[in-house]
Amino acid sequence: MGSTVILPDKKMYLNLFKRDEKIATLLTFAIVYGFATQAQNIAPDDAATALNRLKQIQTDLSKTPVGTGDAKIKQIDKMLALGVWGKAQQLINAAPQTSPYKLLKADYLILHNNYAAAEALVNTVLKAEPKSIKALQLKATLQIQAWLLPQAIITCKSILKTNPTSEATSILMGRAMLLQKRYAESLAIAKKIEKQNPVNAEAYQLEADVYFWNQHPEQAEAPLKKSLAINLYNADARFSYGYAIWRRVDATQLNAMAAQWEIALAVNPCIFLHTGIGAMGIPT
């Protein structure tokens, strides 16, 4: 049984916001992560419930008063991750042009397939902060998008040299290796992270992508379900799961496939534009 999340009354929330912004910031994340906790109780195949809950989360995120400092940055990051892009763009454009906001804008630009502009922002941050982990991770992401796979691996290794426990960086490196068809090495990275941190959704997604690329699609469904059970609204994993359903070669499952892709599009409306089947880690 999942825990019940009790959300604060909206009028009370707004009154608190006027009186004490710190309290309001805490309540903001209580609402956001409250819905996230509820979402973890939804099975990956229950697409209708997942989509309805997503719309609820998106509405709440767009209406919730904005925090300050690091809380605001995390709030915008959550908006980008959950498809609330319009509000995120407004907040980014209105914010001071400090490094954290430049990197948030780079995230936004990558989601919209504007890699050149994103690269310019990342390079600006790295010029001022050459050891910024977030900026270096985005650099590696852009190198992968540009198919500069050896360079991406070098960038990841430079991060891991000083931050050896960075799981996100290891997964990025695993993705670059996957595209080089270094399947065994990529799978080893995924399995190692799964063992170290069983709730890392991206590790299970990487494992599934290895199976797709290595022509074992029937093995991909199990890790994708694990990934979505942890992070129900990962657009790439959701898209891949829809593809896995399609690979069952069962015409009665087409509606289930479409339902998965509907969620992916609700989270990332540009997913078909900046990924495509091959770039998703799924060979054509």
* Cα–Cα nearest to 48, from 226, 262, 235, 227: 262
Quote the pLDDT of residue 14: 42
DSSP-assigned letter for residue 40: T
200, 271 contact by CB (below 8 A): no
Quote the pLDDT of residue 19: 44
Query: Is 189-284 a CATH 1.25.40.10 domain?
Result: yes
DSSP track, 85-149: HHHHHHHHHHS---HHHHHHHHHHHHHTT-HHHHHHHHHHHHHH-TT-HHHHHHHHHHHHHTT-H
Cα atoms in the Cβ-side hemisphere of radius 13 Å centred on 243:
25
Cα angle for residues 81, 207, 131 (degrees, 5° grid)? 55
Q: Which two tokens stand for residue 85?
A: 């892009």
Q: Which two tokens stand for residue 1?
A: 């049984």
What is the spatial distance between Cα 252 and Cα 248, in angstroms, rounded to a whole number? 10
83, 267 contact by CB (below 8 A): yes
What is the spatial distance between Cα 132 and Cα 120, in angstroms, rounded to a whole number? 15
Quote the pLDDT of residue 139: 98
Quote the pLDDT of residue 251: 72
Query: Is 96-164 a CATH 3.40.50.2000 domain?
Result: no
* Domains 96-164 and 189-284 are alike in CATH topology: yes
Question: What are the pLDDT tens digits along the chain (284 aa)?
Answer: 333 333 444 444 344 444 444 544 555 555 455 555 555 689 999 999 999 999 999 999 999 888 889 999 999 999 999 999 999 999 999 999 999 999 999 999 999 999 999 999 999 999 999 999 999 999 999 999 999 999 999 999 999 999 999 999 999 999 999 999 999 999 999 999 999 999 999 999 999 999 999 999 989 999 999 999 999 999 999 999 999 998 887 777 889 999 999 999 999 999 877 554 444 444 43
3-state secondary structure 159-175: HHHHCCCCHHHHHHHHH
Exposure letters 221-256 (e unless 16+ CB within 10 A, then b): bebbbbbbbbbbbbbbbbbbbbbbbbbeeeeeeeeb
The one-letter amino acid at 39: A
* Cα–Cα nearest to 102, from 86, 112, 117: 117
Q: Give the residue extent of every domain in the chain.
A: 1-94, 96-164, 189-284
